[in-house]
């Protein structure tokens, strides 16, 4: 399914490029010269990364807030008290699969980089958490519960990711004829006359920054007026979440897919392991000293620094490209090292 959809996606992009080339050949410019591409701020790699960093930081607030809300909803249910990270990880992976499959990688990176990176890395990445899942797995009182947490937390996010991806493919199949100019537009056509497409990135980023400032301030004011009941820990955890999401984005940009690591996503792996180590140390100090800021850092910093959605996305990418050996190596090393770090922090210190 994944390979066929990928090939179909390439054919669609290729068809659009051929149409664009035909249009260029049939409509030369007045001087007989081919039309020149429009320059944009997104042509600058550094500005593209800067805008993405701002977007990732803004949308990490929303992802962390939703994660904490879902976790509390699961805790309030007596049947699901041991699955605090189960809901956020499954929902986040579903959204990751859906959003990542709405457009080709060319469209995501060349036309809407600020939008897709903000949603995928900032929102979905912060909505899911690898470090909290490892902590929930290791701190179970019985081996059966530990095994159950490990297996369910490792398998079900894959199911939800594939469900989201197939939903996006189905949506594209029905809506591509009418929305092809929006989500299937080729980079060459965009350079010739699609300045409004890149303007969407600027508008999106502006709205994101305004919302990231206004919404937390409004929530804080509502809490002080007794209009909302949001704990101090949750409010501060959301505020510091960009401190984890932005380094995760930078690590992924620097190290993921580097040839020296055989295309191993070392950036995501490093972010998850650093978050797991910090989670284990902070959990130790929180249990021994009952420092509320340790809990805030666990939920906000470590929760957004680690991610399950990108972890699942990368493994499914290995599977679709017939690189299953690397997929299993990545999964075993990530889970094994993460569980070992948390176990040492809980039982040795």
Within a domain: residue 308? Answer: yes
Residue 33 domain-assigned? no
Asked whether the predicted pLDDT for residue 78 surpasses 70, the reply is: no
Name the pLDDT band for 34 (thresholds 50, 70, 90).
very low
Which range among 27-31, 255-259, 271-275 shows the weakest confidence by mean pLDDT? 27-31
Query: Residue 130's pLDDT band (boundaries 50, 70, 90)?
Result: very high
Structure confidence at residue 79 as a pLDDT band (50, 70, 90): low
Using only C-alpha atoms, what is the Rg of the chain?
Answer: 22
The answer as to whether 27 is a domain residue is no
What pLDDT does 5 receive? 44
Are 346 and 138 a contacting pair, CB within 8 Å? yes
Q: Which domain holds residue 122?
A: 40-177+192-346
What pLDDT does residue 247 have? 97
- Report yes or no on 18 lying in a domain: no
Backbone φ and ψ for 37, nearest 5 degrees, come out as -70, 150
Q: Which are the contacts of 304, defined by CB distance < 8 A and separation ≥ 6?
A: 60, 63, 64, 125, 126, 129, 241, 242, 243, 244, 245, 248
The 10s digit of each residue's pLDDT in 202-212 is: 999 999 999 99
Count of domains forming the chain: 1
The average pLDDT across 5-33 equals: 41
pLDDT band at 25 (very low <50, low <70, confident <90, very high): very low
CB count in 10 Å sphere of residue 170: 11
Most confident of 24-38, 181-195, 256-270, 286-300: 286-300
Which of 173-177, 218-222, 339-343 is predicted with the least confidence, judged by mean pLDDT? Answer: 173-177
Give the pLDDT mean for 63-77. Answer: 86
């Amino acid at each position: 399914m994944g390979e066929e959809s990928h090939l179909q996606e390439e054919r669609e992009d290729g068809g659009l490029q051929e149409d664009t080339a035909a249009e260029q050949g049939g409509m030369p410019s007045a001087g007989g010269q081919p039309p020149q591409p429009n320059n944009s701020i997104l042509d600058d790699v550094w500005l593209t990364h800067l805008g993405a960093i701002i977007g990732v930081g803004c949308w990490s607030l929303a992802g962390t807030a939703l994660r904490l809300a879902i976790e509390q909803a699961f805790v309030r249910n007596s049947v699901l008290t041991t699955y605090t990270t189960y809901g956020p990880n499954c929902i986040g992976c579903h959204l990751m699969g859906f959003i990542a499959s709405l457009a080709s990688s060319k469209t995501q990176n060349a036309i809407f980089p600020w939008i897709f990176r903000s949603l995928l890395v900032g929102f979905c990445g912060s909505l899911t958490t690898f470090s909290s899942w490892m902590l929930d797995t290791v701190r179970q009182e019985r081996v059966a519960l530990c095994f159950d947490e490990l297996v369910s937390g490792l398998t079900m996010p894959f199911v939800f990711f594939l469900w989201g991806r197939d939903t996006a493919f189905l949506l594209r199949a029905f809506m591509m004829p009418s929305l092809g100019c929006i989500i299937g537009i080729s980079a060459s056509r965009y350079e010739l006359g699609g300045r409004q497409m890149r303007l969407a990135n600027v508008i999106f980023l502006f709205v994101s920054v305004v919302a990231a400032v206004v919404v937390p301030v409004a929530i804080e004011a509502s809490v002080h007026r007794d209009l909302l009941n949001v704990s101090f820990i949750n409010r501060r955890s959301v505020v510091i979440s960009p401190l984890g999401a932005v380094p995760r984005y930078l690590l992924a940009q620097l190290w993921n897919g580097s040839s020296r690591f055989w295309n191993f996503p070392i950036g995501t792996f490093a972010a998850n392991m650093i978050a797991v180590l910090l989670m284990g140390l902070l959990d130790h100090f929180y249990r021994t000293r009952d420092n509320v800021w340790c809990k805030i850092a666990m939920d906000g910093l470590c929760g957004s620094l680690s991610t399950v959605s990108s972890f699942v996305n990368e493994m499914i990418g290995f599977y679709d490209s017939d690189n299953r050996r690397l997929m299993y190596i990545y999964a075993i090393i990530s889970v094994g090292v993460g569980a070992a770090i948390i176990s040492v922090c809980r039982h040795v210190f």
